[in-house]
Structure 1
């Protein structure tokens, strides 16, 4: 359990083969097995440099502001260090100044010095504030513009709550310039204080320099350990946020299935790991800070005793003592700033990780028109289908082969049904055409062009996809139907309502087309949501590829068959792939593909496959017929009919 941090150095070379009899070891042939595209990209990716990337954003406005701020910080630190000898000098010269006529001039100079420091601090504060705001705004705009261009696989591999937390943590970026300049100011104060001690008491210069170097070394050397501990604790914290989101979204299923105990047990396990990681982080914080403080106080004692042993002026011991005590005090403040560095670095790293993720389609293609001529995609006209060629395609995911040796050739406008047991790889086959998966080997072509890069975006724009999950938004019925429609719709809205049998749904809604459907379509039934999804796909213009993945599983058998016939009639010229578990209904297709354990095991007309006694298709067809006839029509079942909110027993 817990977070596992991995560091990939590269690909392991094949070991040398054993020595032959009476000879020396022969070097093994290099491993030429092609890596999956995702792993190859990860190995080729340079190590993340979050602070360097932020520096590039800051300096994009020019170097004048950061250079002026740096010089201002150095001047402010020097002024802070000079305040002590200035005050001591005024105390020593006070009797003479009271008798001189120019005492007002001296007072005016002191006030001007203090006022100059105040103006300098005001300038630094405003510069830090504006720089932080600009940096946050740029990152927020970059983050919001990048998210729509990321692929589905990116979001499937990450928690929704974790991505939401990353977006929320953008507000902390505005603090980063302030922390940087504050750390620079404290380091400058330590440096100028050490220089002052060396100038004031050369006998203790070696002790002062050694104290400064040791304290800074503790601060620097502790950063890698604290950074790793902070990242581990932050990862567990993001994992904990998932439970809160799941509890809000799935409260009813949790109570229905009495899963509270299981969820609480899992939450407690993650919570224990978070406590351990947080305790480890606190331990390293306290240990490093304590060591730095001990070094600082030991150096202070050494400076004072060495100065007194060298018979220094006792009247000037006060200034030396003040400067010596400043070293551990400023070091403690610097360490507190340094403690925030790992947290800020990890926040920036988690924010920049989506910005550096590979885009699935170019930004210029997001709102581009359909690739087919507009004259061919007007309402009521179906564009010709696409030709699909897969040759020895292998797909891997999470180190596991999910499709292996796929050879499939579909002519333009061909309709094919895909069947197979659950987990056989049917949806993964469709995911290849949608761009979710990239072939680890083999060739995938659409209209004789490789399906990669911008071509994926073009194919998606001419694809109507009915996925197994019903995706409805808390908007009006009209907005849900027009979702994904660019330009002129594929058919009039009234025709889509009729073909998707949505007239009865429309009659039950209080505000007809303007009625909101609720969060995730909560105000309509599951079957009604299936028909809304079909109506949305029917209105999509320029469809050349239709992918129906369990399209009507929430409806009764007669309605499923009727809607499937309507969909096939509408997309009669398009290439259509229908993934289904109702094997009986596949007999109306001219071609059936059977997938088993990630391979295409059969591909022929349904009547040909059904006539083969040992075919997979015949076994699936027999099992489906047994369910429809022998099992569901058995006398042991009571038949209840739900219609119009009333239950009647047949």
Structure 2
């Protein structure tokens, strides 16, 4: 996989070079393409935010009028001031509610779009991508990281903008109220900004590290829970718990450091701000005593000073949220900008229904995770339309790799693979995959009904078509025996079904697909003898008018193939019919002897 597809995304790969990125708060600019479509919503929220900030700045003026009018003889004037203050409060309440609605709605909409974009991107990535990135880690990014972004877009940004407006407006009005006291307040600002900058850098690094550890923890938990039966069968619960606890504690330690750093920054900022205000108010109180300013002016100045100080304190906390969101944004951008090693061409020709001719021309291939070991080494093979070819050989010989390359999960390092004369790299993957049906070695069953699982490869199929495919795959009998028949829920990964039942549903799915090319990867390995015979008959009927490649260890399933291709160490070592290969001796004859002769003797 190219470097662009991922800086490795776990903590082990989250080195200093990668984490240094999180120092760039500008990483949040990557959110703009998701926010731009909702420009009208943003403008409306900004207007509501500006109105509420301005109204907040007007309130101290009303308070000053009230304080300085306490000795006024006309009660009507005093009542007017109080009435005006109440009206301002009402405008502030409505404006704040409107701002909350608009900003929160914007945040939810943008985050929903980001989640869709990340899922849409990763669901189309080739298997090489998932060799380096754990599925649980991707899920962590879709959930945890987007939640951080939601808190920023839906709350922190609007609060930050409001506090910036109040900070700037409050400073200006403080100057107009008392230039002397305001100049003293401004002397405090550098003392407040320095710890924000210094500690903020440390906080950004810790925030990124915390998110890396959380993602690693999610990936570990996902892996263990998806394999829970194996974990329990090998009494590996205690080591698994200890392993997960290690990840969780690492995430907690990173969070504890982040929280401590933020707490120290908050303490320093708030103390400096309010200590400065106390000092300034002491000077102001002396000015009131000397009648250099009125009590109302001092109260007005005090309120503005508190608003400005509150704005600075809020901004220091929000800055930490923005840093965490910047780290989360970078992690999501890594996924969105990941480049797949398998790319569709720009101007791919449109394919009709393929005849089913499959050609391998001197193909060499290494799996990205094993670059020094050739999975296929100079393989040339042609399968004619309608021909059934069985691929046999020991484990790791390269049989299943043939299936992977036909589906273009990977591209060969050398040579070419063609369908009906078209190089796979020159046609759209989704286009040619419609002409291919697969029954994998480990059948994938989704958390849905049996009917929906069979219909997975052809969503527009009728119920009658589904049942016909199930009958052809010898699955109808056990399906009608389920509590709700075909509509029975089969559980996550088909946990409510036996291995043979899952395999028959997977075969029914491939039969319903009705594709000209059928790929069977150990399709009968989990079946009992009776079911295997029934499925074998179904496969024979199905393969008569389509190209079929059968990967099998059990030679009984391939004896009737038109041709058998024997693989060893990534090379084709023999080709022929069952009888011819047995007579020839060699690897196939040895495998046949082991299965039929010793197998019968063992019985």
Same fold (TM over 0.5): yes
Equivalent residues of 2:363, 2:377 under 8 A apart: yes
How many residues were matched structurally? Answer: 574
Distance verdict in 2 for CA 1:605–1:53, change over 3 Å:
same
Instruction: Give the corresponding residue for 1:84.
Output: 60
1:330 equivalent in alignment to 2:311: yes
Instruction: Give the corresponding residue for 1:605.
Output: 576
Q: Secondary structure at the match of 1:483?
A: helix
Looking at structure 2, the residues matched to 106 and 283 of structure 1 have their Cα atoms a distance apart, in angstroms, of 46
Instruction: Give the corresponding residue for 1:117.
Output: 92
Looking at structure 2, the residues matched to 562 and 101 of structure 1 have their Cα atoms a distance apart, in angstroms, of 98
Q: Secondary structure at the match of 1:180?
A: helix
> How far 1:473 moved relative to its partner?
4.1
1:400 equivalent in alignment to 2:381: no
Instruction: Give the corresponding residue for 1:292.
Output: 269
1:166-197 deviations in whole A, cap 9, x for unaligned? 55556776542332111111122222333344
Equivalent residues of 2:52, 2:91 under 8 A apart: no
Equivalent residues of 1:506, 1:512 under 8 A apart: yes
TM-score of the aligned structures, taking structure 2 as reference length? 0.78
> How far 1:591 moved relative to its partner?
4.4
1:264 equivalent in alignment to 2:241: yes
Instruction: Give the corresponding residue for 2:420.
Output: 447
TM-score of the aligned structures, taking structure 1 as reference length? 0.73
Equivalent residues of 2:11, 2:216 under 8 A apart: no
Q: Secondary structure at the match of 2:70?
A: helix
1:387 equivalent in alignment to 2:387: no
Q: Secondary structure at the match of 2:457?
A: coil
Distance verdict in 2 for CA 1:632–1:6, change over 3 Å:
farther
> How far 1:424 moved relative to its partner?
3.8
Looking at structure 2, the residues matched to 532 and 356 of structure 1 have their Cα atoms a distance apart, in angstroms, of 37
Looking at structure 2, the residues matched to 299 and 469 of structure 1 have their Cα atoms a distance apart, in angstroms, of 69
Instruction: Give the corresponding residue for 1:132.
Output: 107
1:555 equivalent in alignment to 2:530: no
Instruction: Give the corresponding residue for 1:456.
Output: 429
Instruction: Give the corresponding residue for 1:485.
Output: 458
1:495-522 deviations in whole A, cap 9, x for unaligned? 6455433465357546655555454444
1:544 equivalent in alignment to 2:516: yes
Looking at structure 1, the residues matched to 47 and 398 of structure 2 have their Cα atoms a distance apart, in angstroms, of 63
Q: Secondary structure at the match of 2:73?
A: helix
Aligned positions of 1:162-177 closer than 5 A: 162-166=137-141, 168=143, 175=151, 176-177=153-154
1:472 equivalent in alignment to 2:445: yes
Looking at structure 1, the residues matched to 508 and 233 of structure 2 have their Cα atoms a distance apart, in angstroms, of 32
Where in structure 1 are there 5+ consecutive unaligned residues? 10-46, 363-368, 373-382, 640-650
Distance verdict in 2 for CA 1:497–1:391, change over 3 Å:
same
Q: Which has the higher helix share?
A: 2
1:412 equivalent in alignment to 2:384: yes
1:227 to 192, 204, 207: 204
Looking at structure 2, the residues matched to 217 and 412 of structure 1 have their Cα atoms a distance apart, in angstroms, of 74
> How far 1:467 moved relative to its partner?
0.2
2:554 to 577, 582, 586: 582
Instruction: Give the corresponding residue for 1:255.
Output: 232
Looking at structure 1, the residues matched to 494 and 114 of structure 2 have their Cα atoms a distance apart, in angstroms, of 33
2:601 to 623, 633, 638: 633
1:191 to 150, 153, 168: 168
Looking at structure 1, the residues matched to 93 and 451 of structure 2 have their Cα atoms a distance apart, in angstroms, of 61
Distance verdict in 2 for CA 1:443–1:126, change over 3 Å:
same
Looking at structure 1, the residues matched to 333 and 56 of structure 2 have their Cα atoms a distance apart, in angstroms, of 37
